[in-house]
């Protein structure tokens, strides 16, 4: 029997496979599958994605947030975590957390031959901005239309 | 090689196996193993526990929060989720979320013969209180000394 709220089987949700990134960054992350779990359960303060990252793909460009903490927990497969601490291989059962107030950008890269699955969790703050460590891009979360620009504010 | 921050292997942490509950409720939940993952990673806005619930034990008394949302994701084994929607069996890969502003208490019960493991995630709000659906208990999160009392405010 299928689960009823407040329970949920993530695999019953349609995934989002696109990305708001401009090229050439978009092709580096798609078609990862993201299933938002908090929204259908009515959660407002926490965002939760169940994400499947195909071989060869990146979770995001390396970045850090101004107002949103992130936590990831690897459910299956393995990913390489890239931060100032270097590269670390995270297998199922490992986790990582990215506190506020640090400019140490992070990303996950699937260098294996199998899909990797992880949960990504964050608080929600409309004031959030994201800075990208290695590419000329900024994320502006302020306002009704979140957008990506170059670091100087010009549009792609 | 062991993981370095911002990565973490949860199993390297010492678990908390006690409970702040008074008896007879305490014996119904201990010795579940809780490992706080957000704290050692410096997260302030989100609380994350990796919890191992032994056979026959309950995650908590059935309850709901005034200011904290909760999300749980089953990693291994199975638990029975008890809410107003009835009892539902949650297996590995299933999740549940408990939004604010609902008085539908929830708890997880391990009725299987194997340990069950899950992640529990919540926002953090010092104004939080918890109401218990089936037992004469209240949780007061306000102030420097969180405490449990009877519903009329008297101490156990």
Q: What is the pLDDT of residues A125-134, one digit of tens each?
A: 988 999 999 9
* DSSP notation for B10-71: GGGSPPB---SPPTTTHHHHTT-EEEE-TGGGT-SSEEEEEEEE-TT-BSSSSEEESS--EE
CA distance B53 to chain A (A): 17
The percentage of residues in chain B with a pLDDT greater than 70, rounded to a whole number, is: 96
Contact A81 B6 (CB under 8 A): yes
Say what the pLDDT of residue B126 is: 87
CA distance from start to end of chain A: 48
Q: Which residues of A touch B3 (CB under 8 A)?
A: 88, 90, 94
Q: Which residues of A touch B104 (CB under 8 A)?
A: 6
Q: Residue A28, SS3?
A: helix
Say what the pLDDT of residue A126 is: 87
CA distance A155 to chain B (A): 32
Contact A85 B122 (CB under 8 A): no
Rounded to two decimals, the pTM is 0.96
Q: Which residues of A51-78 are buried (b: 16+ CB within 10 A; e: fewer)?
A: bbbeeebbbbbbbbbebbbbbbbbbebb
pLDDT band at B140 (very low <50, low <70, confident <90, very high): confident
Say what the pLDDT of residue A9 is: 98
Q: CA of A95: which chain B residue's CA is closest? A: B8
Say yes or no: ipTM exceeds 0.85. Answer: yes
> Residue B37 is encoded by which pair of tokens?
């993952």
Q: Residue B112, SS3?
A: coil
pLDDT tens digit sequence for B27-41: 999 999 999 999 999
The percentage of residues in chain B with a pLDDT greater than 90, rounded to a whole number, is: 88
pLDDT band at A26 (very low <50, low <70, confident <90, very high): very high
């Amino acid at each position: 029997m299928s689960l009823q709220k407040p329970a949920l089987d993530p695999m019953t949700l349609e995934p989002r496979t696109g990305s708001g990134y401009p090229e050439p960054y978009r092709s580096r992350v798609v078609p990862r599958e993201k299933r938002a779990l908090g929204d259908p359960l009515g959660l407002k303060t926490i965002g939760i994605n169940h994400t499947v990252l195909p071989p060869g793909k990146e979770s995001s460009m390396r970045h850090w947030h101004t107002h949103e903490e992130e936590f990831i927990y690897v459910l299956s497969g393995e990913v390489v975590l890239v931060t100032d601490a270097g590269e670390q291989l995270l297998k199922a059962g490992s986790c990582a957390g990215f506190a506020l107030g640090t400019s140490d950008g992070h990303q996950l890269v699937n260098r294996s031959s199998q899909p990797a699955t992880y949960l990504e969790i964050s608080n929600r703050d409309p004031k959030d901005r994201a800075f990208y460590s290695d590419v000329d891009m900024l994320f502006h979360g302020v306002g009704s239309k979140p957008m990506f620009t170059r670091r100087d504010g010009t549009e792609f």
